[in-house]
A and B are shown apart, each in its own frame.
Chain A
């Protein structure tokens, strides 16, 4: 009697094991015959159609309009807000040739991409909305020095009416 029970249990376990393996294989088999449900993307090939979300944080950029004007007053609020010293703002004195009055303006807006943690605190801190996060994400370069960027375009000027 006990022997029969043991044999029953022995084969029961084998059948249970085989059934559990088949249940798992059924799921795998379903996706094998339904290739439309595969979700992977062919990344470098789909560059044209690949669009990142608006809020995606790729890198900091300084917004310039078509007349090469930006909104940065050089107040250094972003530099203070940054936890890692990613942003360095070097200011200069602009002398107005007509009135002779000197005003503060940015000489260089230096951005060290290699140190940036993309925390978005600089964007929030900016009082004039001069900077924003771009959606670019292919940042790999062969030389580390290329990751230190000057964000203001050469010859760019402050948009009139921002400082007031």
Chain B
């Protein structure tokens, strides 16, 4: 880290540069106002709002069934988990008993969503560091998961498979076979990921020791998910506050203590193995029963406040609903993981080089529509 202002006897001056909003490595319309001293980052100020669609306000006019499809458009890479969060909150308000079959299917599809999100992240992470090959490999394996979603849910990305009380329709007869095929296929392909990128010397040089953030800072900024666990902050909602079928499966919470870009990368790589482990435990034991609990056509939550949180691929998503006993909520608030994770970027980036900022943003796994909503 260069702290001396005078280099080679001449006075240097700090200057500003805009990174984004149309920058390929910000993965969306995020604008970063960088204060630089040569190549060294002194300050990062994120400016948001370029893709704000007022989803929270739109929820206030929609019925509880209609809210669900809007959450697809927040964090589109973990859309099933977002849908599940809204449904769990509404079900909590209605005090509805959910069939066991629904819980297990929701958990399996959530983990598939997490896998597909991490695969895409892995491909894009390599691409941000200049390796286009990884992008194609990540998308090759992700295609199998999107096929499973397309067959069972009817859409590849914005699935909208959950409804308050259960699922939209039962799983497709091919679902179990396809999922098992995918797991056995991906187990042979995951070592390729490690050979291609994890051990690569250029990748290691650009991530190890770069973008350090301490456990204290992670907790005070509210960084959750794999980004938080890379600094040793034990924050997995699936482990600490189990929902759906997570209380009946065995899995490890991946923790790395280093707090640098490489640690955050390794958390996600290991999480893919754990996700496959969870799916393997559940896929053969889907209980028989209804795919949906009986609900009224017009859902009215009793007046009060409801909060539920889930673990998406990026961290902790909280859904907060205030109801005044009408058919649409009085106020909806989403605590999105991307927003809190982005706030830690300034602390991470200070003193690093501008080229490493791209790697840092990639390991935070930012999805801009999730930040702006």
Contacts and interface: CB of A to CB of B under 8 A. Distances in A.
Given A26-B195, A124-B168, A133 B154 contact: yes
Nearest to B136: A40
Contacts of B196: 24, 27-28
Interface string B132-144: 0100000010010
Contacts of B160: 119-120
A118 B79 CA distance: 14
Interface stretch (A15-23, A101-109, A152-160): A15-23
A2 interface: no
A23 B199 contact: yes
B65 A118 contact: no
B201 A39 contact: no
Interface in B103-147: 133, 140, 143, 147
Nearest to A23: B195
Given A24-B195, A81-B65, A83-B70, A57 B200 contact: no
B172 interface: yes
Contacts of B140: 39
Interface in A1-33: 16-17, 20-21, 23-24, 26-28
Contacts of A55: 150-154, 169, 172
Interface residues of A, number: 25
Interface string B318-356: 000000000000000000000000000000000000000
Interface residues of B, number: 30
Contacts of B200: 20-21, 24
Contacts of B192: 27
B62 interface: yes
Interface string A44-61: 000000001111110000
A114 interface: no
B66 interface: yes
Contacts of A81: 65-66
Contacts of B147: 53
Interface in A137-164: none
B72 to A, nearest CB: 8
A115 interface: no
Nearest to B141: A39
13 contacts: A20-B201, A26-B195, A28-B133, A39-B143, A53-B150, A54-B151, A55-B152, A55-B169, A56-B154, A119-B69, A119-B160, A121-B69, A133-B154
CB-CB nearest 6 A-B residue pairs:
A17-B201, A119-B69, A83-B66, A55-B154, A53-B151, A20-B201
